[in-house]
Chains A and B, each alone.
Chain A
Amino acid sequence: DADVTQTPRNRITKTGKRIMLECSQTKGHDRMYWYRQDPGLGLRLIYYSFDVKDINKGEISDGYSVSRQAQAKFSLSLESAIPNQTALYFCATSEPGHHQPQHFGDGTRLSIL
């Protein structure tokens, strides 16, 4: 089983809909992250959480919100989806401290029509 599991793997929805992407991990890491990946732009950080009570905005948080339900679960919501939020979304986890690599799930491909 994957250490970092994202659901759904693919989602097609319409403009204005509310969408939740979920991430769960079995690595026991405290730190969790949400990124989006767009062709030609690379991976960009949306939100991150260092523990259940700690939520922080990344570089592109507008239009997104997150919830850290437990150490192992971190969900990303799009309250009112718009077409330019069409992208690949990745969840990642890491141990505390710098030099620690982030470990990624296999992503959710989100298309907003």
Chain B
Amino acid sequence: EDQVTQSPEALRLQEGESSSLNCSYTVSGLRGLFWYRQDPGKGPEFLFTLYSAGEEKEKERLKATLTKKESFLHITAPKPEDSATYLCAVQAVSGGSNYKLTFGKGTLLTVNP
């Protein structure tokens, strides 16, 4: 069974204090790993797709990296508007043709001014 574990469950940072969120996964054949941002009262908003170990993607203050066992979402010099829940999801070969996403429980990030 595919498993996705995100840590920490919650993270509180001061504005400008860089940090990383972790997503570790156990799947039978990774097709893709997805990062989403979710604001209160909203649906998840797509951020990145990573396909293979060693791949990196960047968007503004966010940088996502991927290894064979985990992904990191690095947040550089965060601002209060980066406060949100960050979700990680994997799509695995074991999901068959349904391209099923298995989601982690998320990391709640709070950035204080």
Contact = CB atoms under 8 A, between A and B. Distances in A.
Contact of A106 (B42, B98, B104): B42
Contacts of A104: 36, 43-45
B105 A45 contact: no
Interface residues of B, number: 23
Interface in A71-113: 90, 92, 94, 97-107
B74 interface: no
A31 B99 CA distance: 10
A102 to B, nearest CB: 6
A56 interface: yes
A93 to B, nearest CB: 11
B34 interface: yes
Given A40-B105, A45-B101, A99 B49 contact: yes
B31 A99 contact: yes
B41 interface: yes
B46 A101 contact: yes
Interface in B64-104: 87, 89, 91, 98-101, 103-104
A99 B75 CA distance: 23
Given A90-B43, A99-B32, A102-B101, 9 more contacts: A4-B43, A43-B101, A43-B103, A45-B101, A48-B98, A99-B51, A100-B99, A105-B43, A106-B42
Interface of B: 31-32, 34, 36, 41-46, 49, 51, 87, 89, 91, 98-101, 103-106
Which 9 pairs show the lowest CB-CB distances between chains A and B?
A: A104-B43, A43-B103, A101-B46, A98-B31, A42-B103, A42-B105, A106-B43, A99-B32, A104-B44
